[in-house]
Amino acid sequence: MCNPEGGLHAALRRVFETAGYRRYKMSKFEEYDLYSRNRSFLQSEKVLTFTDTDGKLLALKPDVTLSIIKNFRGSQGLEKLYYHENVYRASGVGFREIEQAGLECIGDVDEYSVCEVLSLAAKSLMTVGRDCELDISHLGLLCDLLDGFGDDLKSRVLRFFGGKNTGELRSLLESSGVPDEAALRIIELSDIDCPADEAPKKLQDILGGYVSWERLQLFCDTCRFLGDEFPGMIRVDFSTVGDLSYYSGIIFRGFIDGVPESVLSGGQYDNLAEKLSKHARAIGFALYLDLIDPLLLHKTEYDCDALLLYSEDKEPQEIYHEVKNLQEKGLSVMTAREVPAGLKFREIYSLKEGGAVRVE
Amino acid sequence: MNDIVNVALPKGRLGEKVYEMFKAAGYPCEALEDPGRRLTFENPDAGIRYFWVKPSDVAIYVEKGAADIGVAGKDILLEYVPDVYELLDVGLGKCRMCVAAPDDFKDDYRKTLRVATKFPHVAKEHYSGVGRDIEIIKLNGSIELAPILGLSDVIVDIVETGATLKQNGLKVFDALFDISARLIANKSGYRFKREKIDLIRKKLETVKENKDD
């Protein structure tokens, strides 16, 4: 029988491997110190810890990116890695084991590598086979526009960008004494939510002359590329924001119809690489498989296609032979001496003299 | 399923006013006006389905995607910080989040300040911002009683007219922020029903502006 989750995981592996990404298998544990120094990069500050036999404080990994970048050696040039791992995070009232697949591209990351990662993010979403959308924005451009703002004001502006809360953004800029023209530009940027191919013109109109020209041109080129390659699927939406101390450039989120939160999250995290003393550029994303897998499970009326009932006096070979016969007809088969309570079967067979006889 | 926009309305007076705005915006629902024992109310022609939920639960229904949009108070949004879009201030349910205490209260900085509130996150954010050491006493109702009986020094609570405070010998010492009801949207649902939700937001904005005029 087909395993739809397994199908998705294999499809993702194909997406990553055909682009030359190599599997990175890692231990479930990491020294706690790595997380204590980079708490704000984690989705939750709570980490499951334990003391190793040599007295070292270890943690069950709450994140994969930190471990990969920690192990990156500058001499490796461009490292392209993918992973499929479980991470352990505090969620609600306790910790949860969360299944993630994703990739990281670290080192001499050029504009092609950025486009490649974004296209792999889009293709990863498409493997699920449902309506999906990839939203991108650029924190570098936003920071250029907020140049001179204090950290507190910047983080409040970012919060209102993230909530599409134009009303309060306007009030904040007004009460903070931001000149009208600059405030208007910021508000117009926060309003951008359009297909990727329509974004360059809007961005040039709003940002031209106020941000790094090179950065703006490169982002517009990326938008045009994505708009052409994935028509209708990629939008430029400046409500896509992240932590400025880690992310530096393009940032993106993926959504699938039927899942109430983003299932894919990624971006350029040069600032994190710098923080970990790696003089490299870096971009990557993670796909949250635990959010997607439930979509792929078809509701089934029956727990198993067939039940084969047998009595104690039957020989194992005889039972095995009848199970094989039924399986060859394409049925999944459970065997038992009595009908298991609470389970439903499409067909029930009883093993009699001379073979299996259908009784229900 | 994608043709219908699911709307979580807060039960009570505020929710009724919010529904009147939706109705004026072109999203009426006869079934909702004569509810009986039903829990959901649908107008397929207008492409909308309403359901009433406890006001403090609206943000949860929207964040988890059970509702595409909803209307929740800013107090709830600041307390629970749900990951949702805040698309419009609908201008209803206006009040303020305040620090209130007995008329003769004087803050003694040598002691930890005891704060009774239904909004522990809001209270913590406010006092950590001013560097004041506090003990939070989380209550679920009758907050005004806490300082009267000596359970707390001050309260952090919503104040609409101040009449209840006055009747109980309390007064506002600090106004933290203004509160009103906000139209919120699920971040994923918004993407797949963008045109419909944007149209609802625009129409509600027009209704609000007409009311203000």
Give contacts of B189 with chain A, Cβ < 8 Å. 260
Residue B53 CA to residue B76 CA, distance in Å, equals 14
pTM: 0.85
Q: Say whether B188 and A262 touch across the interface (CB within 8 A).
A: yes
Report pLDDT for A2.
41
What separation in angstroms does the CA of B44 have from each of B27, B29, B210?
A: 10, 9, 26
Report pLDDT for B198.
96
pLDDT reading at B18 higher than 50: yes
Report pLDDT for A191.
95
Across B1-29, average pLDDT: 92
Question: Residue holding tokens 């907050």?
Answer: B143
CB A134 within 8 A of CB A122: yes
- For A93, phi then psi, to 5°, come to -95, -5
Percentage of the residues of chain B whose pLDDT score is greater than 70: 99
Q: Which residues of chain A have pLDDT under 50?
A: 1-2
What separation in angstroms does the CA of A82 have from each of A52, A87, A280?
A: 28, 15, 18
What separation in angstroms does the CA of A135 have from each of A71, A121, B124?
A: 30, 11, 34
- For A58, phi then psi, to 5°, come to -110, 165
A261 → closest Cβ in B2, B188, B192: B188
Q: At A224, which amino acid appears?
A: R
| Joined tokens for residue A248 | 């530096």
Among B133, B126, B83, B144, smallest CA distance to B108 is for B133
Chain A interface, best mutation among B192, B196, B205, by max A CB count within 10 A: B192
- For strands B95-102 and B154-159, give the pairing: antiparallel
CA distance B10 to chain A (A): 20
Residue A78 CA to residue A282 CA, distance in Å, equals 9
What separation in angstroms does the CA of A239 have from each of A18, A225, A251, A312?
A: 32, 21, 10, 66
CB A287 within 8 A of CB A254: yes
Chain B contact present for A288, CB below 8 A: no
Non-local CB neighbours of B191 within 8 Å, separated by 6+ positions: A133, A135, A255
Chain B contact present for A261, CB below 8 A: yes
CA distance A260 to chain B (A): 5
Give contacts of B86 with chain A, Cβ < 8 Å. 163-165, 168
CA distance A330 to chain B (A): 34
- DSSP tag of A72: -
CB B6 within 8 A of CB B186: no
Give contacts of B125 with chain A, Cβ < 8 Å. none
| Chain A: residue whose CA lies nearest to B61 | A260
CB B157 within 8 A of CB B145: no
Give contacts of B193 with chain A, Cβ < 8 Å. none
CA distance B149 to chain A (A): 33
Chain B contact present for A244, CB below 8 A: no
Residue A106 CA to residue A73 CA, distance in Å, equals 10
Please give the distance of CA A334 from its chain centroid, rounded to a whole number: 36
CA distance B2 to chain A (A): 9
CB A98 within 8 A of CB A89: yes
3-state secondary structure of A138: strand
Domains annotated on chain A, with CATH: 1-129+257-301 (3.30.930.10), 132-248 (3.30.930.10), 302-358 (3.40.50)
Among A102, A116, A137, A156, smallest CA distance to A292 is for A102
For chain B, the distance separating the N- and C-terminal CA atoms, rounded to the nearest angstrom, is 37
Q: Is the dihedral of CA B70, B75, A183, A248 positive or negative?
A: negative
Q: At A79, which amino acid appears?
A: E
| Joined tokens for residue A282 | 């870096």
CA dihedral B49, B52, B55, B59 (to 10 degrees): -30
Report pLDDT for A1.
41
Q: Say whether B187 and A255 touch across the interface (CB within 8 A).
A: yes
B192 → closest Cβ in A131, A165, A168: A131
A261 → closest Cβ in B89, B187, B192: B187
Residue B104 CA to residue A176 CA, distance in Å, equals 34
- Give alpha helix (H) positions in chain A: 4-18, 32-36, 65-70, 111-126, 139-145, 151-162, 166-175, 180-190, 199-207, 213-229, 270-275, 289-296, 316-328
- DSSP tag of B112: P
Give contacts of B178 with chain A, Cβ < 8 Å. none
Q: At A88, which amino acid appears?
A: Y
B86 → closest Cβ in A164, A193, A255: A164
**A265 - beta bridge partners?**
A253, A286
| Joined tokens for residue A339 | 């009908």
| Joined tokens for residue B17 | 């006013």
Question: Residue holding tokens 């609802």?
Answer: B200
| Joined tokens for residue B128 | 């950590």
Chain B contact present for A290, CB below 8 A: no
